[in-house]
């Protein structure tokens, strides 16, 4: 390289280290007379020299690690050795090569880790250095654990950050390390330069001895605290401790309680800060966390469990203001009447919540006191002395004492004596005769009222009557509703009656009570009644098996193809004839006997994708009643429509004369059903003869552009044939004519001079039309004026006007 040295020139030369001078292209300087020689000064280190002819060279191997940059100056000298130009500063940067191996700072490292330490949390570091340039791959170091001893079950317990040398536990190591089984581990760690990616990289290794220490970061035993403590708070309840000093402790309440009554100090001592109430909350679960100085967790949180122990601080409570029991008047002595269940908020299954029941008062005390007893611990009430009579005393009021070991509460119990069900319902008559109804009687109609009576206490389960049909209605077409006030039974139609199924129903009713009868009393014939239901026939319309029939065929099926079948049945078993209604396109026909539907004309999905017709079933004979169903024929698409232009493109134009090749864009469409991707058309010229004039290229599935290949066009309309292929199955294509107008343009729009068009009048014709129009208007005005004068004038004026008007009338 040849450079001319000047005062302002700065030369920066990058030399590759350890390359001999003979291998390097030298730097040559030249100076203008009177300069005849050069002088080199600066950080030459005896390596760099310059010859009298300006050749700068080095005579020894360079070492970037000794000096990475050499600052030199070159001056031009005359024959007397006087500086005539310069000095010119020169910076020589020595480029690094990988000539130094990485070296660990220690041949052996020692460290320790607690069992169950957090995975990924570094507990020690190894460090290596490399004299090569750290900004290049030569100085980029990668660490790796190559040996772990012992390696149990081939599982690595330790891991290393390949860039920082930080050693930490793996997830397996955090779970499995146990000093009681193995407390010492040895690692062999290697380091490589070149980012470990080059087979020629240098490496070094070191030994790491690790001692596993017992983890003292363990959750404490569950804590029990009595509620309502009166000692001064806070009170120490337990303690946690991290493996090393200096940890910061915090408590985490994952329940997000509105009142969290615990705290922890920096020695790990946990306190309860206020009295607790077991009835408010009987246990607490929270977590203790140890953090480092940066606020990062040192390990997993410890679960702290606190159980609040009960003291007897709650009295028993009654289930309600008054507890009501019922007892039948013939109840046996010792029978259970009911259970009074009182509550105590103190802890269950402890002495604090054991309740004792005792009757302290009975009102009225008739026929004597002590008619009832209550079991001491269960609260079960029993009849103690004798059977009761509702006529004597319909109600008793008891006061019951409920007590735990420290508190007493009075509860109130009412016992109602109820009538026993010893009377059966009796029908007012046993036979309700015959009833005739038509089979089309509306569902929900009441057809009969029946009545039974019961001698038990009104408006109780013993006197309420329920009616059910026991015979003659196996299909459940009838039902009976009971009037709650009068016990009358209303026989209603629940399902449509059917003469063809059963014309006569012999109905048997049974009247019963919801309450069971007392022992020894049974229902008999007095609780039963009968009637005969006669159903008369009604001529009914034919019934289709379904209201809408559906089928799916391709639109290209052959004429005469069967596409569906409908069936209808006449309830009177008459024959049925089928016909189609609303068959507006005339595509289908139906066999009047079998109901088979077939095509009679070609189908077209593009005209109608779902073809809907009415199917009419008419009974043959009888009243010729008919019913209607619907047949829906869904047409699947076939590729039977060639592509076409999506719109009228007569407005496409290019400005004439063309200054450069022009382009117009057009769009295609297809009447067939498209996939979810939309149309995917291919475009080409419709004639090979136009290849030198036009070019068509596809933009997307629906658009293409037409480009001119030259500029030599006349000012007129060119109809360019375009071939469009739809890629269908089978593919269809069409050739369309795309009109492109070449015209003069004004402000970007096509300008066409106005000329005579067929159907437009000439100037002479326009003048004639205008004069004729004025003449007709004048005549009309004259007639109007004459008629006005005729109505307003005298007789002589009228005669004059008449003579003037006569020619007009003629």
- In the chain, the number of structural domains is 7
Residue 149 has pLDDT above 70, yes or no: yes
Span between the terminal Cα atoms of the chain, in Å: 122
User: Rounded to the nearest 5 degrees, what angle is found at the Cα of 41, between the Cα atoms of 38 and 45?
Assistant: 125
For residues 108 and 85, membership in a common domain is answered with no
pLDDT of 35: 86
For residues 187 and 258, membership in a common domain is answered with no
Q: Which of 309, 337, 369 is the last residue of a domain?
A: 309
For residues 468 and 508, membership in a common domain is answered with yes
* Structural domain for 70, as ranges: 9-95
In SS3 terms, 39-102 reads as: EEEECCCCCEEECCCCEEEECCCCCCCCCCEEEEEEEEECCCCCEEEEEEEEEEEEECCCCCCC
User: Residue 73 and residue 86: Cα distance in Å, rounded?
Assistant: 8
pLDDT of 455: 85
Q: Which of 636, 658, 682 is the last residue of a domain?
A: 636
Residue 656 has pLDDT above 80, yes or no: yes
Confidence of residue 10 (pLDDT cuts 50, 70, 90): very low
501 in a domain, yes or no?
Answer: yes
451 in a domain, yes or no?
Answer: yes
Q: Strands 694-698, 103-104: parallel, antiparallel or unpaired by DSSP? A: unpaired
Average pLDDT, the chain: 87
pLDDT of 754: 54
Higher per-residue confidence, 501 vs 240: 240
User: Residue 169 and residue 122: Cα distance in Å, rounded?
Assistant: 8
Residue 571 has pLDDT above 90, yes or no: no
pLDDT of 767: 62
For residues 578 and 518, membership in a common domain is answered with no
Tell me the whole-structure pTM to 2 decimals. 0.37
Q: Which of 277, 309, 341 is the last residue of a domain?
A: 309
Of 638, 674, 641, 673, give the one whose Cα is nearest residue 556.
638
766-792 pLDDT per residue, tens? 666 777 788 888 888 877 677 666 555
354 in a domain, yes or no?
Answer: yes
Taking a C-beta distance cutoff of 8 angstroms, is the pair 345, 407 a contact? no
Q: Which tokens sit at 692?
A: 């030198």
For residues 614 and 653, membership in a common domain is answered with no
735 in a domain, yes or no?
Answer: yes
46-64 pLDDT per residue, tens? 899 998 888 999 988 888 8
pLDDT of 284: 95
For residues 563 and 520, membership in a common domain is answered with no
Residue 212 has pLDDT above 70, yes or no: yes
Ramachandran bin of 46, using left for φ above 0, alpha for ψ from -120 to 50, beta for the remaining angles? left
807 in a domain, yes or no?
Answer: no
pLDDT of 580: 94
- Tell me if residue 427 falls in helix, strand or coil: strand
Give percent of the chain with pLDDT exceeding 90: 58
User: Residue 243 and residue 433: Cα distance in Å, rounded?
Assistant: 99
Residue 807 has pLDDT above 80, yes or no: no
For residues 700 and 627, membership in a common domain is answered with no
For residues 302 and 334, membership in a common domain is answered with no
For residues 177 and 248, membership in a common domain is answered with no
579-637 pLDDT per residue, tens? 999 999 999 999 999 999 999 999 998 889 899 999 999 988 767 888 999 999 999 88
Of 17, 41, 27, give the one whose Cα is nearest residue 94.
17
Q: How far is CA 273 from CA 239, 253, 347, in A?
A: 15, 15, 23
pLDDT of 792: 53
Give the list of residues 6+ apart from residue 111 with CB closer than 8 angstroms, or none: 123, 124, 167, 208, 209, 210, 211
698-711 pLDDT per residue, tens? 999 899 999 999 99
**Cα-Cα-Cα-Cα dihedral sign, residues 545, 546, 549, 550:** negative
User: Residue 433 and residue 435: Cα distance in Å, rounded?
Assistant: 7
For residues 709 and 745, membership in a common domain is answered with yes
Spacing of C-alpha 87 from chain mean position: 76
pLDDT of 20: 33
240-297 pLDDT per residue, tens? 999 888 899 999 998 898 999 999 999 999 999 999 999 999 999 999 999 988 899 9
Burial of 381 (0-12, 13-18, 19+ CB in 10 A): buried
568 in a domain, yes or no?
Answer: yes
799 in a domain, yes or no?
Answer: no
Mean pLDDT of 641-647: 86
Mean pLDDT of 348-361: 93
Residue 1 has pLDDT above 60, yes or no: no
Residue 396 belongs to a domain with what CATH number?
A: 2.60.40.60
For residues 67 and 164, membership in a common domain is answered with no
2 in a domain, yes or no?
Answer: no
pLDDT of 650: 74
Q: How is 127-174 classified by DSSP, letter by letter? A: -EE-SS-TTSGGG--EEEEEEEES-GGG---EEE-TTT-EEEE-HHHH
**Cα-Cα-Cα-Cα dihedral sign, residues 767, 769, 775, 781:** negative
Taking a C-beta distance cutoff of 8 angstroms, is the pair 50, 38 a contact? yes
User: Residue 684 and residue 732: Cα distance in Å, rounded?
Assistant: 14
pLDDT of 752: 65
397-411 pLDDT per residue, tens? 999 999 999 999 999
Cβ neighbour number for residue 750 with a 10 Å cutoff: 16
For residues 113 and 150, membership in a common domain is answered with yes
């Amino acid at each position: 390289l040849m450079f001319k040295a000047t005062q302002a020139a700065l030369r920066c030369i990058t030399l590759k280290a350890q390359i001999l001078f003979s291998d390097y292209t030298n730097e040559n300087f030249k100076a203008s007379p009177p300069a005849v020689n050069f002088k080199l000064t600066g950080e030459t280190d005896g390596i760099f020299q310059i010859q009298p002819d300006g050749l700068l060279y080095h005579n020894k191997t360079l070492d970037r690690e000794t000096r990475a940059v050499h600052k030199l100056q070159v001056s031009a000298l005359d024959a007397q050795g006087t500086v005539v130009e310069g000095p010119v500063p020169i910076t020589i940067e020595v480029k690094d090569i990988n000539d130094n191996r990485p070296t660990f700072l220690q041949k052996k490292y020692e460290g320790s880790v607690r069992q169950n330490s957090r995975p990924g949390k570094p507990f020690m570091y190894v460090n290596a250095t490399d004299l090569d340039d750290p900004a290049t791959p030569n100085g980029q170091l990668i660490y790796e654990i190559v040996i772990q001893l012992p390696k149990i079950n081939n599982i690595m317990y330790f891991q290393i950050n390949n860039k920082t040398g930080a050693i930490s536990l793996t997830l397996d190591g955090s779970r499995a390390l146990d000093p009681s089984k193995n407390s010492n581990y040895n690692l062999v760690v290697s380091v490589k330069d070149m980012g470990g990616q080059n087979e020629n990289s240098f490496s070094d290794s070191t030994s790491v001895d690790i001692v596993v220490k017992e983890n003292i970061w363990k959750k404490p035993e569950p804590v029990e605290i009595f509620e309502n403590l009166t000692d001064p708070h806070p009170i120490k309840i337990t303690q946690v401790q991290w493996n090393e000093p200096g940890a910061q402790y915090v408590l985490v309440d994952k329940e997000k309680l509105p009142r969290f009554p615990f705290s922890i100090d920096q020695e790990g001592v946990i306190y309860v800060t206020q009295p607790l109430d077991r009835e408010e909350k009987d246990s607490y679960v929270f977590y203790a966390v140890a953090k480092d100085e940066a606020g990062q967790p040192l390990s997993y949180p410890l679960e702290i469990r606190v159980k609040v122990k009960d003291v007897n601080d709650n009295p028993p409570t009654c289930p309600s203001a008054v507890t009501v029991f019922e007892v039948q008047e013939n109840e046996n002595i010792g029978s259970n009447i009911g259970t009074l269940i009182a509550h105590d908020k103190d802890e269950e299954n402890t002495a604090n919540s054991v309740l004792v029941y005792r009757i302290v008062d009975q009102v009225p005390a008739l026929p004597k006191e002590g008619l009832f007893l209550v079991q001491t611990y269960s609260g079960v009430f029993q009849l103690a002395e004798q059977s009761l009579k509702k006529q004597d005393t319909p109600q008793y009021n008891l006061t019951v004492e409920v007590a735990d070991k420290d508190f007493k509460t009075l509860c109130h119990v009412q016992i109602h004596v109820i009538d026993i069900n010893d009377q059966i319902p009796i029908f007012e008559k046993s036979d309700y005769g015959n009833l005739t109804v038509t089979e089309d009687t509306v569902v929900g109609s009441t057809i009969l009222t029946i009545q039974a009576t019961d001698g038990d206490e009104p408006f109780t389960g013993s006197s309420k009557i329920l009616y059910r049909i026991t015979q003659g209605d196996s299909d459940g077409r009838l039902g009976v509703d009971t009037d709650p006030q009068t016990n009358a039974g209303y026989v209603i139609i629940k399902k449509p009656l059917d003469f063809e199924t059963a014309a006569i129903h012999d109905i048997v009713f049974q009247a019963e009570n919801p309450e069971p009868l007392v022992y020894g009393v049974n229902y008999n014939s007095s609780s039963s009644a009968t009637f005969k239901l006669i159903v008369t026939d009604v001529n009914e319309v034919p019934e289709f098996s379904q209201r809408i029939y559906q089928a799916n065929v391709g639109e290209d099926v052959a004429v005469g193809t069967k596409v569906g079948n409908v069936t209808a049945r006449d309830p009177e078993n008459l024959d049925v004839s089928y016909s189609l209604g609303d068959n507006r396109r005339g595509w289908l026909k139906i066999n009047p006997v079998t109901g088979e539907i077939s095509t009679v004309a070609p189908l077209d999905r593009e005209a109608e994708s779902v073809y809907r017709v009415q199917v009419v079933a008419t009974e043959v004979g009888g009243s010729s009643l008919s019913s209607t169903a619907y047949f829906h024929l869904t047409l699947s698409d076939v590729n039977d429509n060639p592509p076409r232009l999506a719109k009228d493109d007569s407005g496409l134009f290019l400005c004439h004369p063309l200054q450069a090749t022009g382009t117009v864009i057009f769009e295609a469409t297809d009447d067939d059903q498209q996939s979810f991707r939309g149309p995917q058309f291919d475009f080409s010229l419709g004639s090979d003869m136009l290849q030198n004039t036009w070019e068509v290229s596809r933009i997307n599935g629906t658009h293409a552009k037409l480009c001119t290949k030259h500029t030599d066009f006349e000012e007129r309309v060119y109809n360019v044939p375009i071939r469009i292929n739809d890629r269908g199955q089978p593919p269809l294509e069409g050739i369309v004519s795309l009109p492109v107008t070449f015209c003069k343009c004004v402000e970007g729009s096509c300008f066409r001079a106005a000329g005579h068009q067929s159907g437009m009048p000439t100037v002479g014709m326009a003048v004639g039309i205008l004069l004729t129009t004025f003449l007709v208007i004048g005549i009309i005005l004259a007639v109007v004026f004459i008629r006005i004068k005729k109505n307003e004038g005298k007789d002589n004026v009228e005669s004059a006007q008449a003579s003037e008007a006569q020619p007009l009338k003629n």
